[in-house]
Amino acid sequence: MTAEPHIRIFDTTMRDGEQSPGASMTMREKLDLAELLCEMGVDVIEAGFPAASTGDFDCVRRIAEQTAKSDTIVCGLSRSTPQDIDRCGEAVRASGNPRIHTFIATSPIHMEQKLKMGENAVLEAIGRSVSQARNLVGDVEWSAEDATRSDFEFLCRAVDVAISAGARTINLPDTVGYAHPEEYGAMFRKIRETVPDADKVIWSAHCHNDLGLAVANSLAAVQNGAGQIECAINGLGERAGNAALEEIVMALRVRRDALKCETKIDTTKLARASKMVSQITGFPVQYNKAIVGKNAFAHESGIHQDGMLKNAQTYEIMNPEDVGVSKTSLVMGKHSGRHAFRDKLKALGYELQDEALNDAFKRFKDLADRKKHVFDDDIMALVDEQLSRGDERISFKRLRVVAGSEGPQTAEIDLEVDGETKWTTARGNGPVDAVFNAIREIVPHTAVLELYQVSAVTQGTDAQAEVSVRLAEDGIVSTGRSADPDTLVASAKAYLHALNKLEIRRQKRIAA
């Protein structure tokens, strides 16, 4: 059975999506989202459940008004009761393309336990509700709630009644996310072969993600003749959510070769829509979420980064720009390699030659081992520090500090001075003072500490500390800087940096 070439995208973020506990949206938020969905080219916006509350009714009505001049269909959901349907008709009336979406459950458990209705009463309700809706609007969608757990013979009879009463779209929801793809696809194929006038309606899939199969099931329905998919941005929806709109749209686009159909969605707006829904609901998007997750176009491992730099198609099946993400990011971390590191340095404006590059790369790896996120600023601080160091007389080897409320604060330090390793220990009024006293013991000098300043290079408790030190001696002022995740190590190195520079300036003065 062939798929339809154009699959209609029915967005239910504001109806089923809003049914997620904690996902309620205000009128303003819904109007903004509706505007974006409209711009994006969504075919149907299910704007709410008008009978649920005055607020929901008003939202559906305002969205219908706001989008009246567009091609977008605006629909509301309603039970099969006359009051719900009237209310829904009133709410969508202002739309240029109003739709009433009415439903009733057809599975034995729902009919017996929830509705307390027999099969005949349900069939009667379907005929009556669809006819009533058709008297209000030309476009009526009917859904068989819990279709996938319904008796197939009865489901066919129910669908037949809905089509005869004037439904234009028949939706077969997997309400509880129970079906698997082959089963769900077969249901569409069989029902389309069985029900009279099956070719006169649009078949719709509405899948829930309780088993993580919502997108796969929706695609299986498409391959078996469904022409509409009901889905929600970020997969928002009851319990584990609905099929994610962005995943459906990109699967159809990227695998058009196999699935033979597409949507008319402007995919470059997907990332923006995802962000908007996440901000409105306060539900974060999981980092590894397909299409719109923070890591969907990010690569940290060296082998992948090297491949990406040579040809992006080695590790990406779609362009980030196509979904509205500005570019792929090569995230620098402990799994990164030299190719990506060199590329990052170049982007940051540094051209290091082989030895300097190797040295910087080694220091970067050491840092990445100690720090969860290595930001651009961290890398710049690391290279700046390296560049500002020439042939230094005194270099840092090792530091151990005893600090805390008990005291005495003590620093034990190893330095290399003129090629010879020297060790000492000293106390101080606090750990930083102890470190500087230890340095003074190994390298006696009369320079005065004029400034000592610490700032965090990036955020987080594991951020690198950047320390600046200013020393002054006989009119010579020298500043040193260093960055390290350990503030005391950064302090020692910054002090030594300033001291080395002071030494060079002293010698220059003597030579002059």
Ligand X SMILES: CC(C)C(=O)C(=O)O
Sequence ranges of the binding site:
16, 206, 208, 242
**Residue numbers 350-389 binding ligand ACO by CB under 6 A:** none
Is 46 a residue that touches Mg ion (CB under 5 A)? no
Residues 6+ apart with CB under 8 A from 323: 246, 250, 267, 268, 270, 271, 291, 292, 296
Q: What is the torsional sign of CA 60, 63, 69, 74?
A: negative
Instruction: Please check whether residue 222 is in contact with residue 262, taking contact to mean a CB–CB distance below 8 angstroms.
Output: no
**Nearer of residues 103 and 495 to ligand X, judged by Cβ:** 103
H-run or E-run covering 410:
strand 409-417
For Mg ion, which residue of 7, 14, 15, 16 counts as binding (CB under 5 A)?
16
**Nearer of residues 47 and 438 to ligand ACO, judged by Cβ:** 47
**Nearer of residues 119 and 412 to ligand ACO, judged by Cβ:** 119
Q: How far is the CB of 384 from ligand ACO (least distance, A)?
A: 57
For ligand X, which residue of 103, 203, 341, 495 counts as binding (CB under 6 A)?
103
Q: How far is the CB of 237 from Mg ion (least distance, A)?
A: 6
Distance CA 322, CA 256 (A): 15
Q: How far is the CB of 162 from ligand ACO (least distance, A)?
A: 13
Is 81 a residue that touches ligand ACO (CB under 6 A)? yes
Instruction: Please check whether residue 168 is in contact with residue 201, taking contact to mean a CB–CB distance below 8 angstroms.
Output: yes
**Residue numbers 228-247 binding ligand ACO by CB under 6 A:** 238
Instruction: Please check whether residue 181 is in contact with residue 217, taking contact to mean a CB–CB distance below 8 angstroms.
Output: yes
Is 16 a residue that touches ligand X (CB under 6 A)? yes
**Nearer of residues 171 and 478 to Mg ion, judged by Cβ:** 171
202 binds, among ligand ACO, ligand X, Mg ion, none (CB under 5 to 8 A by kind): none
Buried b (16+ CB within 10 A) or exposed e, 349-360: ebebeeeebeeb
**Nearer of residues 204 and 328 to ligand ACO, judged by Cβ:** 204
Count residues binding ligand ACO (CB under 6 A): 15
The residue range among 47-55, 93-101, 257-265, 273-281 that interacts with ligand ACO, by the rule CB under 6 A, is 47-55
Is 80 a residue that touches ligand ACO (CB under 6 A)? yes
52 binds, among Mg ion, ligand ACO, ligand X, none (CB under 5 to 8 A by kind): ligand ACO
Helix residue ranges, H only, 46-99? 54-66, 82-92
| Residue sitting closest to Mg ion (CB) | 16
The residue range among 8-16, 68-76, 256-264, 457-465 that interacts with Mg ion, by the rule CB under 5 A, is 8-16
Q: What is the torsional sign of CA 124, 129, 134, 138?
A: negative
Instruction: Please check whether residue 188 is in contact with residue 152, taking contact to mean a CB–CB distance below 8 angstroms.
Output: no
| CA-closest candidate to residue 85, choices 71, 98, 95, 72 | 98
Structure-token pair, residue 294 = 């923070």
Distance CA 10, CA 233 (A): 11
For ligand ACO, which residue of 7, 8, 10, 19 counts as binding (CB under 6 A)?
19
Is 79 a residue that touches ligand ACO (CB under 6 A)? yes
**Nearer of residues 16 and 503 to Mg ion, judged by Cβ:** 16
Quickly tell me which residue has 């290595």 as its tokens: 374
Distance CA 332, CA 122 (A): 60
398 binds, among Mg ion, ligand ACO, ligand X, none (CB under 5 to 8 A by kind): none
Write out 190-249 in H/E/C secondary structure: HHHHHCCCHHHCEEEEEEECCCCCHHHHHHHHHHCCCCEEEEEHHHCCCCCCECEHHHHH
**Nearer of residues 16 and 139 to Mg ion, judged by Cβ:** 16
143 binds, among Mg ion, ligand X, ligand ACO, none (CB under 5 to 8 A by kind): ligand X
Is 400 a residue that touches ligand ACO (CB under 6 A)? no
- Side-chain-side CA neighbours of residue 70 (13 Å): 20
For ligand ACO, which residue of 10, 57, 103, 495 counts as binding (CB under 6 A)?
103
Q: How far is the CB of 19 from Mg ion (least distance, A)?
A: 7
Distance CA 240, CA 212 (A): 8
Binding residue positions for Mn(2+): 16, 206, 208, 242
Is 106 a residue that touches ligand X (CB under 6 A)? no
**Residue numbers 139-198 binding ligand X by CB under 6 A:** 143, 145, 171, 173, 175
Omega within 30 of 0 (cis) for the link into 173: no
| CA-closest candidate to residue 241, choices 212, 281, 278, 202 | 212
Q: How far is the CB of 318 from ligand ACO (least distance, A)?
A: 31
Q: What is the torsional sign of CA 138, 139, 144, 147?
A: positive
Q: How far is the CB of 196 from ligand X (least distance, A)?
A: 23
H-run or E-run covering 491:
helix 487-511
For ligand ACO, which residue of 14, 25, 37, 104 counts as binding (CB under 6 A)?
104
Is 78 a residue that touches ligand X (CB under 6 A)? no
In this structure, how many other beta carbons lie within 10 angstroms of the beta carbon of residue 25? 20
Q: How far is the CB of 148 from ligand X (least distance, A)?
A: 9
Q: How far is the CB of 72 from ligand X (least distance, A)?
A: 19
Partners of residue 406 on adjacent β-strands: none
Q: Which residues bind ligand X (CB under 6 A)?
A: 16, 103, 143, 145, 171, 173, 175, 206, 208
* Interface residue list for ligand ACO (CB under 6 A): 16, 19, 49, 51-52, 79-81, 103-104, 114-115, 145, 175, 238
